[in-house]
Amino acid sequence: MQLTVAEQLSHEPKYWRRELATILVVLALLVWSSSAVEMQQNAGNGFSVAGGIFRGIFHPTASLLFGTGKNGVAYLLLETMCIAFLGTLVGAVFAIPISFLSAFNIVPKWIGIIGRVFIMAVRTIPAFVYGLMFIMVTGPGPFAGLLTMSLCSVGMLSKMFIEAIEDLDKGILESLDAQGCTFFQKIKYGIFPQLLPSFASTLIYRFDMNLRDATVLGLVGAGGIGAPLIFAMASYRWNDVGAILVGLIILVLVVEWISGKLRSKLMRG
């Protein structure tokens, strides 16, 4: 029997109920969430603050921005970069063994799951908690910041390392085996070349992010540019705030540009 237009019309799948339900659920969630929004009464002078910061960015304190002393923005940015750099490296040192222990194609499934739960726990702990804890260990300053950064990096580094490890082409190992290579030769010639570009790219990406997060550390007193920022803001010295923000933005943009170039070079070989 031939299908008629009228029949086909009646066959139209009725998605609208499901779509409507989804939309209602989402709206309900949003309405429920807005109940948490609270702000203090001094919101009135909020605009003057915003204006102040805005103006401060365009009239940064030159001495602060270009100063060469330990309080200068340049030195602090350098310190922040070093914190991020070493933090990424140390984080990698922790992350590599943990990643291998969590990759399902290397270890049995139950070990892998324990590894991943461990990583998730490490990742969940907020950065400033680590910061405060490390300050107790090493005293305030950039060393604490570095250690904090490394633990914070472990989360993302492990996740991306695990992906790279699980993507490993076993075929190459097979052919090396067939040629009669030892265990270590297989690792050096079979595994490293596959993982290295991926690992390196991940490290650079994480360094980029750590640079941004490193400013956080200053807020807990763990070095870097966060501390002067918070002092300047607390004293309403908008021009100083502007100087710091400008320096920060420039640094991040430059590093991002360089790291982008490096990563695409790595990926394309």
Partner 1 sequence: MQLYDRLFPPKTYTLSNGKSVSEKRSRAPLVWLVMICFTAISVRITGFNFGVLFRRGSFFFVMLGDMFPPDFAYMENVWKPLWDTIKMSLLGSAFGALICIPFAILSSTNLVRNRLVTTIFKFLFSLVRTLPTLVAALIATYIFGLGTLAGTVAITVFTFAYCGKILYENLEQADMGPYEALEALGCRGITCINHAIFPQVLPTYLSTVLFCFEGNVRYASILGYVGAGGLGIILNEKIGWREYGKVGMILLALFAAVVAIESLSQYLRSKLT
Partner 2 sequence: MGNHAPLRKVIPSLSAKADTNSGAIMIEFRHVGKVYPNGTIGLKEVNLKIKDGEFIAIIGRSGAGKSTLIRAINKMHAVTSGELLVDDVDVSKLEGKSLRRLRRKIGMIFQSFNLVTRTTVIKNVLTGFVPDLPWWRSLLGVYPQSCKVKALEALDKVGILDKAYIRVDQLSGGQQQRVALARTLAQNPKVILADEPVAALDPVTAKQVMDDFKRINEEMGITVLINIHHVELALEYAHRVIGIRSGVIIYDGPSEKVDQKVLDSIYGPAQKEADHAAV
Which positions ≥6 away from 86 have C-beta within 8 Å? 146, 149, 150
The SS3 assignment for 198 reads helix
- Interface segment toward partner 1; rule CB under 8 A; list 3-11, 59-67, 167-175, 220-228: 220-228
Give the position of tokens 């007193």. Answer: 221
- Interface segment toward partner 2; rule CB under 8 A; list 7-15, 36-44, 56-64, 196-204: 7-15
Q: Is 267 in the site for partner 1 (CB under 8 A)?
A: no
Which positions ≥6 away from 141 have C-beta within 8 Å? 221, 222, 223
For residues 47 to 86, the per-residue mask of contacts with partner 1, x marking binding by CB under 8 A and - elsewhere, is x-xx--x------------------------xx-xxx-xx
Q: Is 126 in the site for partner 1 (CB under 8 A)?
A: yes
Q: Is 10 in the site for partner 2 (CB under 8 A)?
A: no
Q: Is 34 in the site for partner 2 (CB under 8 A)?
A: no
Measured distance CA(82)–CA(203) in Å, rounded: 14
Q: Is 132 in the site for partner 1 (CB under 8 A)?
A: yes
| Shortest spacing between CB 14 and partner 2, in angstroms | 11
Which positions ≥6 away from 19 have C-beta within 8 Å? none
Which positions ≥6 away from 100 have C-beta within 8 Å? 106, 107, 165
Q: 197-216 as b/e, with b when 16 or more CB fall inside 10 Å? A: bbbebbbbbbbbbbbebbbb
Tell me which residues touch partner 2 (CB under 8 A).
Answer: 2-3, 5, 8-9, 11-13
In the complex, the residues that contact partner 1 under the rule CB under 8 A are: 26, 29-30, 32-43, 46-47, 49-50, 53, 78-79, 81-83, 85-86, 89, 120-121, 123-129, 132-134, 136-138, 141-143, 145-146, 212-213, 215-216, 219-220, 223, 226, 229-230, 233, 245, 248-249, 252-253, 256
